[in-house]
Amino acid sequence: MSTSPESLQPLDVSLSPQERFEEYLQTRGLRQTSQRKFLIDAVFDEHEHFDADELIDRLPRRGEKNYVSSATVYRTLREFVDAGLLKSFQLDGRTVYELDYGYPQHDHLYCTKCKQLFEFQSDLLVEMRDKVASEMGFRVTGHRMIIQGICRECTKGRRKKRKQDLV
């Protein structure tokens, strides 16, 4: 699953993802392992939306250096979400992950044909969200919007000329 070339730029943060996760583990009485360290680097090396299977496909295979079992990947992804490093959401029946730590609030356009996610930020959308929440006496703690449709490239591909259009 890919993101658009206009992906959001990371924000300046006081701790690296490794340091932030180390802090999380310490508060839970857990230890940092080489596999967890390797997975943080693998996840934060790219700003991509992914599911667990896509991450597993990018990792070394059994018998290779830095091999991480599927069970460890699934468990560690849940820990990354709990630690505030990743966000997860459901898309087409799959759990999709995206970087959260060090990235600004944003929303998505999702092409149902090519399965590409496009990130965007909208001040107007945030203003409207806050106005509606205020009118309803609601305190906003966050939101997620995924607008589904068909992207420009897929729309171009659908406009095949029919024989009767050529007359």
What Å distances lie between residue 73 and 5, 54, 65, CA to CA? 27, 11, 16
- Going through 28-85 in order, the beta strands assigned E by DSSP cover 50-51
Strand-strand pairing, 107-111 and 117-120: antiparallel
Q: Which residues are annotated as a binding site for Zn(2+)?
A: 111, 114, 151, 154
Contact 29, 37 (CB under 8 A): no
Q: Which residues are annotated as a binding site?
A: 107, 111, 114, 143, 151, 154
Q: Assign residue 83 a region: left if phi > 0, alpha if psi is -120 to 50, beta otherwise?
A: alpha
Q: Assign residue 89 a region: left if phi > 0, alpha if psi is -120 to 50, beta otherwise?
A: beta
Q: Which residues are annotated as a binding site for Fe cation?
A: 107, 143
What value does the CA radius of gyration of the chain take, rounded to a whole number of Å? Answer: 20
**Which 3 state secondary structure label does DSSP give 133?**
helix
Torsion of CA 115, 118, 122, 126, to 10 degrees: 40
